[in-house]
Structure 1
Amino acid sequence: MTVKGLIAALTEQENVNFLLTNRIPRAAVTRFMGWFSKIENRIVCAASIACWRLFSDLDLSEAKKTGFKSLHDCFTRELKDGLRPFDPDPRVVASPSDAIIGAHGAIEDTELFQIKGANYSLKDLLGEDELVERHRNGRFVTLRLTSSMYHRFHAPADFNIERVTFISGDTWNVNPIALKRVEKLFCKNERAVIETRLVSGEALTLVPVAAILVASLRLHCIDRTLNAQTRGASVFPCDVQVHKGDELGWFEHGSTIIVLTPDRFEFSPNVREGARIKAGQPLLRKLG
């Protein structure tokens, strides 16, 4: 068995995986990774990327650059132009990112789930009653970005960004093993609530959720990076018009985006739990 195969076999064991990724000082490890990833040293960068390849299916063939000055530079890489065309149908809400599709479906009153049988509420996730009402009995889909994926995310439709709320929290891993073991995980982790209004008037909300090694989120609409060191206002009013496919920002590793819409949307046929989706591919479609 290869070294990569041995590592994969060990980390697929639930107890080992959970121990390695959660029963450690998560905040301290995340802060260290944030510092380490920004070291601009050719040898450190090359060694780090080589190690990263051992643990993942990292493929840099789509990257716009062929060399990177740091691990962070590689994490947040841009892609070659034209590789992620967005579905042009104005009725379609596209995937904002490359991802593995997780839990999705109808929101039952204000309840949704991270896995079957593990519910959480819109209020716990979003924190505000008015926003909860916008998505009562609506639709939700969970998109999980793995560490090796393209980490930038884009506008899934034409919309106006009205407000961003940053909610501080923990940095639990967001992989399926942790989702089975940690109750209301998405509501415990650090996250941003991006409130938008589609040009047709409906509310669409994006909730990027941080995770271990990933408690940092760059948002262009407020021109700042949000993380555990964020000081000052946690609510950032916005009035920013964006077009489908425009870059909204990036994670500094892999993580999760939860997409919320009203009930006048249905899932595209390609949306299946466990399936891979690329930024720009159809996610939901407006009825009528």
Structure 2
Amino acid sequence: MTVEENLANGEIRYIDRRDGEVKTEVIYGERSLRWAYGNPLGRLAQWLLVRRWIVSAWYGRKMNGVSSCIRIKPFIEQYGLDENEFAKPVDEYNSFNEFFHRKLKPGARPVDPAPDSVVFPADGRHLAFADITGETNFFIKGQSFDLERFLGDAGLAKRYDGGPMLLSRLCPVDYHRFHFPCAGEAGIPRFINGWLYSVNPIALITRPSIFWENKRVVTQIESPALCQVLFVEIGATMVGSIRQTYMPGETVAKGEEKGYFAFGGSSVAVLFEKGRIEFAADLLKNTAAGIETYARVGERMGRALGQG
């Protein structure tokens, strides 16, 4: 089953790994999103304005203003966020954007300690593909994933041909810092210019190519357990800013912070060479059924199979 088929009733459903229950996503800005991707006039506006950096830049400046602080408490209440996790009190944030890419208290996201574990890079809704280039139902029936366009490099695409990929979708209500899924040496990030379409499934079922059309940042991680891993941040509408907080060339720990997204929804993809990782069974099962799995950063997404 595809994600598109699961959206037939108009709802975005996912399985919460914490309790195993199927839940319905509360969509931030749902009316605007459905209009922009489901209405002819909305699609025109999206093509002319919404996907362009200037709109995201304008909204980003708005969310950086002191006056945006008034949005913080209603947002917390509406989406049931846990203030006890925040690294500092709510009234100490100087803008909505500062709150949006907030840090959490130490220990709020424990990292799976097993030596062979590979962990989720972000809080969000995840899909796991055992063979991304062999995938023929990427969000919609008959859609393949264009790895070469996604990576912007034919050589890299060849290296990861037939390999696994984790796709993590962050909603505006999620914790928006992303972390390394494994230990290793992280290289210099490479920027790929592009548009800023929404990465919500409502948009993706109309245009799965969004993933290789949007702005992206690609980082290679040399991992003792997994060989070469690719970490890709994908910008989205209202996310013109992808910030890196790590130091390229230094050794990083599993679960260590890599960076953050400014305001909006966004996605992260992690690619592995063929035969390097075994994804958790529930992830693969849910993905095959066209449904995302909600899990948090630091939790186990699979195990490394070594370099042998």
Do the aligned partners of residues 91 and 248 (structure 1) sit closer, same or farther apart at CA in structure 2, a change above 3 Å counting?
Answer: same
Structure 1 gap segments, 5+ residues each: 1-6, 223-237
Residue 195 in 1 paired to residue 220 in 2? yes
CA distance in 1, matches of 2:151, 2:29: 36
1:267 corresponding residue in structure 2: 279
Is 1:257 the counterpart of 2:268? The answer is yes
State the alpha-carbon separation in 1 of the partners of residues 103 and 55 from structure 2. 26
Q: 1:105 to 1:117 in 2, by over 3 A?
A: farther
2: CA distance, partners of 1:174 / 1:139: 20
The answer on whether the counterparts of 2:128 and 2:164 sit within 8 Å (CA) in structure 1 is no
Residue-by-residue CA offset, 1:218-246 (whole Å, 9 max, x unaligned):
11235xxxxxxxxxxxxxxx422101111
Q: Distance in 1 between matches of 2:184 and 2:140?
A: 29
Q: TM-score, structure 1 length as denominator?
A: 0.82
SS in 2 for 1:106: coil
Match of 1:234 in 2: none
Equivalent position of 2:37 in the other structure:
18
The match for 1:89 is: 114
Flag the 1:103–1:58 CA change in 2: closer, same or farther, 3 A. same
Structure-1 separation of matches of 2:280 and 2:148: 27
Give me the whole-angstrom Cα distance separating, in 2, the residues matched to 1:247 and 1:8.
Answer: 26
Separation (CA, whole Å) in 1 of partners of 2:29 and 2:245: 39
CA contact 2:138–2:208 (8 Å) conserved in 1: no
Contact 1:151 1:250 survives alignment (8 Å): yes
CA deviation map 1:234-280 (0-9, x unaligned): xxxx4221011111110113310011112221111342332211001
1:1-288 pair list within 5 angstroms: 11=30, 15-16=34-35, 18=37, 23-24=45-46, 25-26=49-50, 27=52, 28-39=54-65, 41=66, 44-50=67-73, 52=75, 56-67=79-90, 68-102=93-127, 104-108=129-133, 113-200=138-225, 202-221=227-246, 238-253=248-263, 254-264=265-275, 265-271=277-283, 272=286, 273-287=291-305
1:109-154 Cα distance to aligned partner (Å, 9 max, x none): 5988355532222101001122112211110111000001100111
The count of aligned residue pairs is 264
User: Identity across aligned pairs (percent)?
Assistant: 28
Instruction: Please list every run of 5 or more consecutive structure 2 residues that lacks an aligned counterpart in the other structure.
Output: 1-25
SS at match of 1:144: strand
CA distance in 2, matches of 1:73, 1:266: 36
Aligned counterparts of 1:163 and 1:10: Cα–Cα separation in 2: 34
Supply the RMSD in Å over aligned alpha carbons: 2.8
Measure how far apart 1:85 and its partner are: 1.0
Cα displacement (A) at 1:83: 1.2
Instruction: Find the aligned partners of 1:214 and 1:196 in 2 and give their Cα distance.
Output: 24
Deviation, 1:29, is 2.3
Q: Which amino acid aligns with 1:46?
A: C
- CA drift of 1:194 comes to 0.9
Q: Report the residue type matching 1:249 in the other structure.
A: G
Residue in 2 aligned with 1:226?
A: none
Give secondary structure in 1 for the equivalent of 2:205.
Answer: helix
After TM superposition, the score normalised by the length of structure 2 is 0.77
Larger displacement relative to structure 2 (211-220 or 197-206)? 197-206
C-alpha distance in 2 between matches for 1:206 and 1:31 = 24
* Structure 1 range deviating more: 264-273 or 20-29: 20-29
